[in-house]
């Protein structure tokens, strides 16, 4: 930009320069500060990393052949499918339960909020392993489950608990009910983070508290809820390995069965860990896109997806400011007062 | 004699031990604009919130268009209204807030059509058409797809006014609509309100814009300490305040 005089004519740089306004400013070319400490630290870290990676390939005890021999083994894959099923179903029930518990906890009805409080207190206060064992052996506690008039009245249908609650159901119950307690606190924090004015505005438009919660408060709370929820999902993925105590065959249990036969403990644990890492990576990518979806309107520009980033790197030249993503309207005109 | 749009008789509001409103008597005729001024903490905003039952009054009577707010009178006793009946009445009263309170996860148009489609059950196409008309009316037709964070404060407040108008209210409440705005953006919002007043909308405006009150208001109320200190024609009250408290307040803001 060149200087402009009040009357709009460009300020001449001096005599004999007829075209002053189009000149590019001379860029600064300075000698950068030397940072030897950085170089030393980088070299040490890279060296250590090289030693570690080298050991992976040279230490025969890793038995990479066995790791990859069982990588696509039938029972390992079945275990993986079970692990994913458990994670997904338990998380879905856990999230729904968590939202219900959070709303109950914030309700003005003292009975509802106390019950929610006690539930959270109990399920967070006892080890998940104990809860899973409890559901696994529920048949010993309640032999039959019946539908009928409570408190000793007649019963219409009666089931053997063992038949009704399979190992899979017990695993889901244990994981989901525990998860609901944690999700409840996460959702509650999300709801509390939303300004009270949002609820008032929604109500002033004639929305019921339920509709306002569903359409206005929860969608905004999701922004706060999703990062810890991603954490919870990844925790859940790994916590499913606990269900082996009630004899449900998940990924880790399947690997354990194999190494109990061939004594290749470390390689099979690596096989299982690689699968856990792969699923975690997929979940992390999923989280990025979910966060992006609920980030609408929160900042003026959404973070670019990796694809958009690559496209921009290819097609954007230096010195040209970033082009806002096409999904967003570009604010123009009026200045000042923008938050 | 027509029924007043807002009628307050001895309205009290108490939060625990603090009495915020100590007996308010006011009357707003249909089609009139009442401006309420006063120092902060005088109960102006609380009174406004009471009118659409976002706050419950603790004593007295408050009615909108001849119907009690929040209660039904049956055989000499007051019965609390159900949630559904309260929301029904709120739909007829538009409200504009000091901090806009637009829904940040929805576009400007999304904010406007939310209540008509989800509460009033109007079809999306009809709501969009009406929404665009309203955006045009507040001068923001080109911003329909912008999110609130992409708009200036003045633009946000105009969207908020359009959002309130989308439910076709018979009464509009404004809670310090320009107090959170940069000075150069106040004019646009006041222009929209001026136009709204000219179109015959009944309005209750809590404001610090004395000029607006003088020019647009049919009546002016000065509140302090939870009571109405002085009320009357804005030009007369502003030119010739009768009470010492009104005089000292006006000397500070004028």
Tens place of pLDDT per residue across chain B (254 aa): 578 999 999 999 999 889 999 999 999 999 999 999 999 888 999 999 999 999 999 999 999 999 999 899 888 899 999 888 999 999 999 999 999 999 999 999 999 999 999 999 999 999 999 999 999 999 999 999 999 999 999 999 999 999 999 999 999 999 999 999 988 889 999 999 999 999 999 999 999 999 999 999 999 999 999 999 999 999 999 999 999 999 999 988 87
B97/A197 Cβ within 8 A: yes
Examine the pLDDT at A276 and tell me if it is beyond 50: yes
User: Which residues of chain B lie closer than 8 angstroms to A209, CB-CB?
Assistant: 83
Q: What pLDDT score was predicted for residue A244?
A: 87
- Residue closest to B3 by CA, chosen among B27, B23, B20, B19: B27
User: Considering only alpha carbons, which residue of chain B is nearest residue A328?
Assistant: B146
B154/A337 Cβ within 8 A: yes
pLDDT-based confidence at residue A300 (cuts at 50, 70, 90): low
pLDDT-based confidence at residue A325 (cuts at 50, 70, 90): very low
Examine the pLDDT at A18 and tell me if it is beyond 60: no
Q: How far is B240 from chain A (nearest CA, A)?
A: 36
Which residues numbered 124-163 in A keep a CB inside 8 Å of some CB on B? none
Cα distance between residue B238 and residue B247, in whole Å? 9
User: Considering only alpha carbons, which residue of chain B is nearest residue A198?
Assistant: B101
B149/A298 Cβ within 8 A: yes
The ipTM, to two decimals, is 0.91
User: Which residues of chain A lie closer than 8 angstroms to B175, CB-CB?
Assistant: none
DSSP string, chain B: -PPPSEEEEEEEEEETTEEEEEEEEEEE-TT-EEEEE--TTSSHHHHHHHHTTSS--SEEEEEETTEESSEEEETTEEEEPPHHHHHHHHTTEEEE-TT----TTS-HHHHHHHHHHHTS---HHHHHHHHHHHHHHTT-GGGTT--GGGS-HHHHHHHHHHHHHTT--SEEEEESTTTTS-HHHHHHHHHHHHHHHHTT-EEEEE-S-HHHHHHH-SEEEEEETTEEEEEE-HHHHHHS--SHHHHHHHHHH-
Q: What pLDDT score was predicted for residue B129?
A: 96
A205-242 residue pLDDT tens: 999 989 999 999 999 999 899 999 999 999 999 999 99
Cα distance between residue B250 and residue B254, in whole Å? 6
Q: What is the reported pTM?
A: 0.77
Nearest to A206 among B146, B147, B167 (CB): B167
Nearest to B145 among A298, A329, A337 (CB): A329
User: Which residues of chain B lie closer than 8 angstroms to A216, CB-CB?
Assistant: 103
A208/B87 Cβ within 8 A: yes
Q: What pLDDT score was predicted for residue A317?
A: 53
A204/B114 Cβ within 8 A: no
Q: Does A215 touch chain B (CB under 8 A)?
A: yes
Examine the pLDDT at A97 and tell me if it is beyond 90: yes
User: Considering only alpha carbons, which residue of chain B is nearest residue A295?
Assistant: B105
């Amino acid at each position: 930009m060149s200087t402009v005089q009040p009357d709009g004519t460009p300020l001449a740089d001096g005599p004999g320069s007829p075209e002053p306004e189009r000149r590019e400013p001379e860029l600064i070319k300075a000698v950068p500060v030397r940072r030897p400490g950085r170089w030393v630290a980088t070299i040490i870290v890279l060296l250590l990393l090289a030693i570690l990676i080298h050991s992976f390939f040279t230490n025969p005890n890793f038995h990479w052949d066995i790791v990859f021999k069982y990588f696509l083994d039938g029972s390992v894959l079945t275990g993986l499918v079970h692990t994913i099923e458990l994670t997904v179903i338990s998380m879905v029930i856990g999230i729904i339960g968590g939202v219900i518990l959070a709303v109950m906890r914030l309700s003005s009805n003292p009975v509802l909020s106390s019950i929610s409080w006690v539930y959270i207190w109990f399920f967070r206060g006892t080890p998940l392993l104990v809860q899973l064992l409890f559901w696994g052996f529920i048949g010993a506690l309640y032999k039959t489950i019946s539908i009928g008039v409570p408190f000793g009245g007649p019963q219409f249908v009666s089931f053997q608990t063992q038949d009704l609650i399979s190992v899979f159901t017990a695993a889901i119950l244990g994981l989901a009910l525990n998860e609901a307690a944690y999700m409840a606190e996460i959702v509650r924090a999300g709801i509390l983070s939303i300004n009270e004015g949002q609820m008032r505005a929604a109500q002033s438009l004639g929305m019921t508290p339920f509709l306002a919660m569903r359409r206005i408060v929860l969608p905004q709370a999701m922004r706060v809820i999703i990062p810890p929820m991603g954490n919870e999902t990844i925790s859940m993925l790994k916590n499913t390995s606990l269900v082996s105590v009630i004899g449900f065959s998940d990924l880790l249990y399947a690997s354990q069965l194999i190494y109990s036969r061939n004594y290749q403990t470390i390689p099979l644990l690596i096989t299982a860990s690689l699968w856990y890492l792969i699923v975690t990576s997929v979940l992390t990518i999923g989280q990025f896109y979910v966060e992006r979806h609920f980030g609408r309107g929160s900042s003026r520009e959404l973070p670019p997806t990796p694809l958009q980033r690559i496209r921009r790197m290819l097609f954007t030249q230096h010195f040209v400011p970033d082009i806002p993503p096409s999904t967003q309207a570009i604010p123009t005109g009026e200045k000042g007062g923008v938050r | 004699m027509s029924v007043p749009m807002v009628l307050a008789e001895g309205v009290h509001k108490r939060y625990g031990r603090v009495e915020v409103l100590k007996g308010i008597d006011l009357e707003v005729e249909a089609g009139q604009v009442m401006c309420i001024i006063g120092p902060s903490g005088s109960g102006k905003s609380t009174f406004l919130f009471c009118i659409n039952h976002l706050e419950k009054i603790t004593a007295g009577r408050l009615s909108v268009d001849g119907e009690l707010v929040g209660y039904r009178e049956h055989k000499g006793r007051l019965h609390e209204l159900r949630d559904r009946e309260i929301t029904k009445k709120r739909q007829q009263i538009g409200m504009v807030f000091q901090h806009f309170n637009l829904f940040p996860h929805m576009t400007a148009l999304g904010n406007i059509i939310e209540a008509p489609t989800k509460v009033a059950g109007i079809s999306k196409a009809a709501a969009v058409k009406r929404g665009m008309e309203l955006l045009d009316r507040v001068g923001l037709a080109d911003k329909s797809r912008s999110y609130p964070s992409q708009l200036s404060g003045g633009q946000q407040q105009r969207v908020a006014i359009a959002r309130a108008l989308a439910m076709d209210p018979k009464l509009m409440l404004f809670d310090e609509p320009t107090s959170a705005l940069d000075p150069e953006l106040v004019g646009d919002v006041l222009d929209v309100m001026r136009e709204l007043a000219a179109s015959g909308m009944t309005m209750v405006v809590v404001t610090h814009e004395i000029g607006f009150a003088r020019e647009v208001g049919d009546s002016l109320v000065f509140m302090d300490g939870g009571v109405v200190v002085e009320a009357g024609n804005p030009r007369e009250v502003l030119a010739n305040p009768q009470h010492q408290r009104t005089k000292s307040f006006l000397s500070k803001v004028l």
